[in-house]
Structure 1
Amino acid sequence: MLKLRSIYNALAGNNIGSLPVFSNYKNIVSFYGTTTRKNITTISSLKSNRKDKSQYTQRDKPYKEDSKRVNYIKTKKSLYGGDLSSTSSFKKPYKEPNEIVDKNIQVERIDQLTTVYRSKNKFNDQLGSDITGTGIAFQRLNVSKVLVETLKEMGISVPSTIQQLTIPEILKGGNDILFASQTGTGKTLTYLIPVIQSIKKAEELETAKNEENSRLPRRPRAIILVPTRELALQVMSVAKKLSHKVKFSCTTTSSGGGDLLQYLKMYKSIPIDVLISTPGTLIKLIEEEEIFFSKLQHLVIDEADSMFTVGKGFDEEIKQIVKPLESRFKNRKSEGFPPLNAIVCSATLTEPLMKVINEFFPNIQKYSTPTIHRSINSLVQKFIDIKGGGDKHAALLHAITTGQKITKKNNNDNEINLENDSTIKQQAQKRILIFCNSPNSCRSTEYLLTENDYNATSLHGEIPAKRRNANWKEFLNGDKNILVCTDIVSRGMDIPDVDHVILFDFPNNPIDYIHRIGRTARAGKHGVVTSLIAKYDRPLSNIIQNAIKKGTSLENLNKRINKLL
Structure 2
Amino acid sequence: MNKFRYCTLWRCCATYSSLANVSEHLRNRLVAMGVRTPTEIQEKALPVLLQGRSAVVNSETGTGKTLCYLLPIINRLLSDDETKAPYSFVLVPTAELAMQVHSTFDGLADSGWQCSEVFGDRKMTIKPYTRCVVGVPSSIATYGLQRLLKTTSVLVVDEADLLLTGGEKAATWKILRNFRALYEQNAGQRQMIFSGATMPSRGKQSALASLARWIPKSTEVIQTVGVHLPPQGVEFSYVKVVDDSHKMSLLMSLLSCHNYMSSILIFVNTTSTCEQVYNTICSSHDLPIDHNTIGRLDKGVDMDQRYLNMQLFLEGHYNVLVCTDLFARGIDIPNVDLVVLFDFPTNAADFLHRAGRTARAGKSGKVVSYVLPRDKHLCTLIEHTIGQRDSFDEELFSRKKMLKRRIGRILDTMDM
TM-score w.r.t. the length of structure 1 is 0.63
In the other structure, the counterpart of 1:501 is 339
Is the CA contact (8 Å cut-off) linking 2:102 and 2:117 kept in structure 1? no
Q: Is the 8 A contact 1:256 1:466 kept in 2?
A: no
Q: Which residue does 1:489 correspond to in 2?
A: 327
Q: Do residues 427 (structure 1) and 261 (structure 2) align?
A: yes
Measured after TM superposition, the shift of residue 167 of structure 1 is 0.5
Matches within 5 A, 1:518-537: 518-537=356-375
Give the drift of 1:426: 4.4
Could you tell me how far apart the structure 2 residues matched to 1:158 and 1:141 are? Answer: 14
Deviation at 1:537, TM superposition (A): 1.4
Show the counterpart of 1:197: 75
Residue equivalent to 1:283: 141
The answer as to whether partners of 1:141 and 1:164 remain within 8 angstroms in 2 is no
Correspondence for 1:394: 249
Quote the Cα distance in structure 2 between the aligned partners of 1:277 and 1:548: 33
Work out which of the residue numbers 528, 531, 540 in structure 1 matches 2:378: 540
Quote how far apart the aligned CAs of 1:194 are: 1.2
Q: Does 1:225 align with 2:91?
A: yes
Residue ranges of structure 2 left out of the alignment (5+ in a row): 1-10, 286-290, 408-416
Q: Whole-Å Cα distance in 1 between the matches of residues 244 and 57 of structure 2?
A: 44
Shift in Å at residue 361 of structure 1? Answer: 1.6
Q: Deviations over 1:187-213 (max 9, x none)?
A: 11111111211222233xxxxxxxxxx
- Which residue of 1 is the match for residue 411 of structure 2? none
For 2:395 and 2:272, how far apart are their aligned partners in 1?
Answer: 29
Q: In structure 1, what is the equivalent of residue 49 of structure 2?
A: 170
Written as runs of structure 1 = structure 2, the 5 A alignment for 1:357-376 is: 357-363=211-217, 364-376=219-231
User: How much does 1:544 deviate?
Assistant: 0.9
User: Is 1:232–1:252's contact at 8 Å kept on the other side of the alignment?
Assistant: no
What are the Cα deviations for residues 273-306 of structure 1, in whole angstroms up to 9, with x where unaligned? 122122122122326x8x6333311001111122
Are the counterparts in 2 of residues 236 and 250 from structure 1 also a CA contact under 8 Å? no
Residue 511 of structure 1 aligns to a residue whose secondary structure is: helix
Unmatched tracts of structure 1, length 5 or more? 1-125, 127-133, 204-213, 405-424
Counterpart contact for 2:260–2:319, Cα < 8 Å: no
Query: Is the partner of 2:226 in helix, strand or coil?
Result: coil
Is the contact made by 1:221 and 1:274 (CA closer than 8 Å) also made in structure 2? yes
Instruction: Give 1:137 shift.
Output: 4.6
Tell me what 1:273 maps to.
131
Mapped pair 1:446 → 2:274: no
Aligned partners of 2:56 and 2:195 also within 8 Å: yes
Q: Check the 8 A contact 1:490/1:515 in 2, yes or no.
A: yes
In the alignment, which residue of structure 1 is the partner of 2:164? 308
Across the two proteins, how many residue pairs are aligned to each other? 381
SS at match of 1:523: helix
* Aligned-pair CA distance for 1:390: 6.6
Q: CA deviation at 1:324?
A: 2.6
Any idea what SS the aligned residue of 1:344 has? strand
Please give the per-residue CA displacement for 1:349-371, whole angstroms capped at 9, x wherever unaligned. Answer: 11211112224424231010000
Tell whether the 8 Å contact from 1:385 to 1:532 is kept in structure 2 after alignment.
yes
Once residues 270 and 397 of structure 2 are traced to their aligned partners in structure 1, the CA distance between those partners, rounded to angstroms, is 25
CA distance in 2, matches of 1:319, 1:541: 33
Partner deviation per Cα, 1:251-271 (whole Å, 9 max, x = no partner): 2322356xx56xx4xx33442
Letter in 2 for 1:509: N
Q: Are residue 329 (structure 1) and residue 208 (structure 2) matched? A: no
Structure 1 window deviating more from structure 2 (484-493 vs 446-455): it is 446-455
1:519 positional shift: 0.6
Tell me, yes or no, if the aligned pair for 1:138 and 1:158 is still in contact at 8 Å: no
Q: Counterpart of 1:346 in structure 2: which amino acid?
A: G
Question: 1:171 is matched by which residue type in structure 2?
Answer: L
1:476 Cα deviation from its structure 2 partner: 3.3
2:172 maps to 1:296: no
* Aligned with 1:252 (options 110, 116, 120): 116
List 4+ stretches of structure 1 deviating above 6 A.
none
Q: Which residue of 1 aligns with 2:62?
A: 184
SS at match of 1:434: strand
Matched with 1:69 is none
* C-alpha distance in structure 2 between counterparts of 1:253 and 1:240, whole Å: 12
Does the 8 Å contact 1:511/1:555 carry over to 2?
A: no
TM-aligned CA distance change 1:389 to 1:480, over 3 Å: closer
In structure 1, C-alpha distance between the alignment counterparts of 2:20 and 2:238, rounded to whole Å? 41
Query: Which structure is larger by alpha-carbon Rg, 1 or 2?
Result: 1
Matches within 5 A, 1:70-219: 136-140=15-19, 142-173=21-52, 175-203=53-81, 214-216=82-84, 219=85
Alignment-mate amino acid for residue 168 of structure 1: P
The 1-side partners of 2:256 and 2:364 are apart by 18
- Residue by residue over 1:103-127, the C-alpha shift from the partner in whole angstroms, topping out at 9 and shown as x without a partner, is xxxxxxxxxxxxxxxxxxxxxxx9x
State the TM-score, normalized to the length of structure 2: 0.84
